[in-house]
Each structure stands twice: as C-alpha cells, then as structure tokens.
Amino acid sequence: MTTWDVLVVGAGPAGSACSKWLAERGLGVCIVAPPRSGIRAGESLPGAAYPLLRDLGLLAALQQSYACPCHGNLSAWGSEDLVCTDFIRDPNGMGWHLEREGFDLALHQAALASGAVHEPFRIETVRRDGGLWQVGLSDGRILSSRFLVEASGRSSIIARRLRVPRHQDTPLVALYAWGQDRGQDQRSLVESASVGWWYSASVPGNRRVLGLHVQREFAAHIQRKPQLWAQQLAMTRYMREWCDANSDWTELQAYAAGGAYLERFGGEQWLAIGDAALAMEPLSSQGLFNALYTGLRGAQAIAASLRGNMVLHADYCSRLQHVRQAYLRHTCLFYAAESRWPDQPFWKERHTQSLVMLNQQQDSSMTLNETMPHRTSQTEVLSTP
Ligand SMILES: Cc1cc2nc3c(=O)[nH]c(=O)nc-3n(C[C@H](O)[C@H](O)[C@H](O)COP(=O)(O)OP(=O)(O)OC[C@H]3O[C@@H](n4cnc5c(N)ncnc54)[C@H](O)[C@@H]3O)c2cc1C
C-alpha cells in the first residue's frame, strides 16, 4: 500500500490551496473528496485575497472563474440611509464577484497540475496506527499517510471522527436564489430587515444572487411557504428595487451559515484548515480569504512538522485563536449597530449573544466606524499578523 506524505480531506478552496503548495514542494499529496454537486453560494472575494492568490500561484484561477470586479459595497444597516464603501479608499483595492463552481474547479485543477492526486470518494473511517493515518474510503479501500489535513468544510468529518468538539455560534440559515441580472449596480448590497438581513450581488454570466439570512425556524417557515420570500422582499427599501420578486428566480437553496470553530485546530500529525477549522458568517465575507490563508499557512506548518519542526504548527493554532477572537468582536459589533427592531426574535437573539460574547472579550476597544457591515471590509482581521 502507498503511504502518502499528506492526505487532504476536502477539495474546496482550503484543501486545493494547501495541496498545491505541498505538492509543488515535492511532497506526495492525495486529495480525498467526492465529486461536487449543487450550486455553491459564496461569490464575494475581497481585494486582500489578491496577494494570497499571487503567492499561491493561483491568479489564473480568478480569470478562469470569469471574476467580475467589484468596486464597492452599499449597505442600509442601522438606519434607512444607504452607505457606500468605495474600494478606492481600501489599501487592498477592489474585490471580485466569482463564478464559484468555476473558481473552486480552477483551484482544484491547479493542485492536480502541481502533482497532487485526487480520489473522488467520501471518507468513512479514520484511525492512527503505528505512527501513520489509516483512512477508509467509501469505495472500501484504505489509504495510509504520514499527515492528515481536515479540509472538509462545515461537515468537519475528520474532527468528528477524531472526536474533537466543534462549537457552534448562534445558528443562521441563508436562503439563496439566483436570477438574471438586469444590469444593476455591480456593487454588493446589504440591507437589514426585521427578520434578518438581505444580500445581493451580480455574478458572472449576467446572473444575480439574492440571499436572506434568518433564524432556523423562520427559514423552515419560508421553505414551507415560499410566497413569504416575495412578501419579505417587498418590505425592503432598496433590495426590492434591485431584485424583482416577479422575475425568474431559481428555487431557494438553504445553507447553514452560522459561525463555528473547532476546540483544537490540530494535533499529532493533523491540522484543520478553512471552514472545518473556523467557519464565519457570510456577513464577514471572509470565508474564502480564510480558506486561502489557512490553506497556505497550514501547508507551511505541515511541511515543517514533517521535518520534525513543530514551531509553525503551534504558531498556526495560536494565530487561528486570534482570528476567531477578532472575527467575533467584529460580528458582534456589526449586529449591535442595528437597533431598529430590538423586540424581533432575530435581533433579540443576536443582541443577547453579542453582549455575552463582547463581555467575554478582554479587548473591545473598537469604534463604531469599524462596525458597518460592508461584507468585505473585515479582511484586516486576517491580514494583520
Ligand atoms: C450562504 C453562504 C454565503 C457565503 N458567502 C461568502 C462570500 O460571499 N465570500 C466569502 O469569502 N465566503 C462566503 N461564504 C463562505 C465560503 O463559501 C467558505 O468559507 C468556503 O467555501 C470554505 O472553503 P473550504 O475549502 O474550507 O470548505 P468547502 O468549500 O466547503 O469544501 C469542503 C470540501 O470537503 C469535501 N467533503 C465534505 N465531506 C467530505 C467527506 N466525508 N469526505 C471527503 N470529502 C468531504 C467537500 O466535497 C468539499 O470538497 C459563504 C458561505 C455560505 C454558507
């Protein structure tokens, strides 16, 4: 049986970035992930991702996903005023709206072109034996490796098999639909509402995505009665101008979108990256950045660990703790900045959680200017060392 240097479980942006970096350095890398199905949400890529993509040799992936430039964000949050954040004032420059399936595929192909091998199966069992990992696939085979990477996204299959607790923040469900873009503004739009918050952006191929983020119970209610979606849209001030409820939208897709994190980001010869390690609410627009960042930093820590140097491994885990704290602080302050519906269940739950979390934080010295939910303005959380 072949023993791989590194087995990467997951072929999302985190798994692909990590695999590419390791394979390029001559390590034997096997990616295990079932073929992708279904439409993917998550198309806003902040400008700060550019240097990461460049360092990973993945700029071509942006072109292959027909990324459209995004020059700013508009948000109506905390008041009816529409506030614009123009990326011209952002040191990271403009962001992009991606064709997400194409982006993920381009990253995956780049990893394969660097020498990684793909096994298109699910992981079923994981055990450690004689200093090696033995991983059982859904086709019945067992693969062996020296190092194991948990990159399976929110399903965090490896962490579950290793019995590492995964903590969930307040649940959030995102209901997304895609329709035709009728040439509206290319900027993203975020608008809060009494039941949660809306988001819309143009995506490549003259399409537009429209998302509503709500509590789990309300999402289930809308799924049972889809006409509620149009009713809620009609109550918005800006979103309804951009997204006509009567035009041809796809069926609603529901995604778990709340924050979550692993109690430990790694251990003996294993490491978690991307959403598996730390999942963030879409309000932050940091998921892809986090996936690329942890993919790169995780790969560097893994290469060092395989040479017997554990310093980067420890450093990686402590950095992720800081990222999680900064993410929490930003998210709580964003929610605190919307006070128009204090008695509505969505906002009541968010405000209560925010107060608890902010009280737990030692450093909450942020100004409210930093708290507007521009959906791509938080990247400094991860970019600061
Ligand atoms: C509604 C919504 C909107 C979002 N919007 C944005 C946005 O605008 N901008 C942004 O930056 N981020 C956004 N995100 C977050 C972003 O999509 C994620 O952070 C990103 O996809 C994480 O990448 P990943 O590689 O860690 O995980 P994923 O992309 O989820 O990849 C996980 C991989 O693991 C594989 N896998 C799962 N289970 C198994 C198993 N048992 N065996 C083997 N393989 C397995 C999967 O097949 C997949 O290949 C959004 C998320 C949601 C839910």
Alpha helix locations (H) across the chain?
Answer: 13-24, 49-55, 59-64, 100-113, 157-161, 216-224, 227-234, 239-242, 274-277, 287-306, 311-336, 345-360, 380-383
From the CA of 104, how far away is ligand 1's center (Å)? Answer: 10
Q: Is residue 355 part of a domain?
A: yes
Residue 56's CATH number: 3.50.50.60
For residues 180 and 154, membership in a common domain is answered with no
Residue 228's CATH number: 3.30.9.100
What is the domain extent for residue 326? 1-69+92-169+260-385
Residue 12 has pLDDT above 90, yes or no: yes
Residue 108 main-chain phi, psi, to 5 deg: -65, -45
Residue 178 has pLDDT above 60, yes or no: yes
Angle at 167 between CA 288 and CA 31, to 5 degrees: 45
For residues 184 and 165, membership in a common domain is answered with no
Per residue in 179-197, pLDDT (tens digit) is 999 877 889 999 999 999 9
Q: What is the mean pLDDT of residues 211-217?
A: 98
Residue 371 has pLDDT above 70, yes or no: no
Report the chain's C-alpha Rg in angstroms. Answer: 21
Q: Is residue 384 part of a domain?
A: yes
Which of 204, 226, 256 marks a domain boundary?
256
Host H or E run for residue 363: none
- 3-class DSSP string for 91-121: CCCCEEECCHHHHHHHHHHHHHHCCCEEECC
Nearest CA to ligand 1 atom 35: 10
Angle at 46 between CA 30 and CA 208, to 5 degrees: 95
**Is 287 touching ligand 1 by the criterion CB < 6 Å?**
yes
For residues 275 and 376, membership in a common domain is answered with yes
Which of 229, 256, 283 marks a domain boundary?
256
From the CA of 367, how far away is ligand 1's center (Å)? Answer: 31
Give the model's confidence band at 368: pLDDT under 50 very low, under 70 low, under 90 confident, else very high: very low
What is the torsional sign of CA 24, 29, 30, 34?
A: negative
Q: Is residue 77 part of a domain?
A: no
Q: Range with the lowest mean pLDDT among 33-47, 127-141, 154-168, 281-295?
A: 33-47
Maximum Cα–Cα distance across the chain: 63
Nearest CA to ligand 1 atom 33: 10
For residues 252 and 264, membership in a common domain is answered with no
Select the more confidently predicted residue: 117 or 37. 117
For residues 19 and 150, membership in a common domain is answered with yes
Q: What is the mean pLDDT of residues 332-342?
A: 94
Q: How crowded is residue 370: how many other Cβ atoms within 10 Å of its Cβ?
A: 14
Domain tally, the chain: 2
**Is 78 touching ligand 1 by the criterion CB < 6 Å?**
no
pLDDT of res. 385 = 28
**Is 122 touching ligand 1 by the criterion CB < 6 Å?**
yes
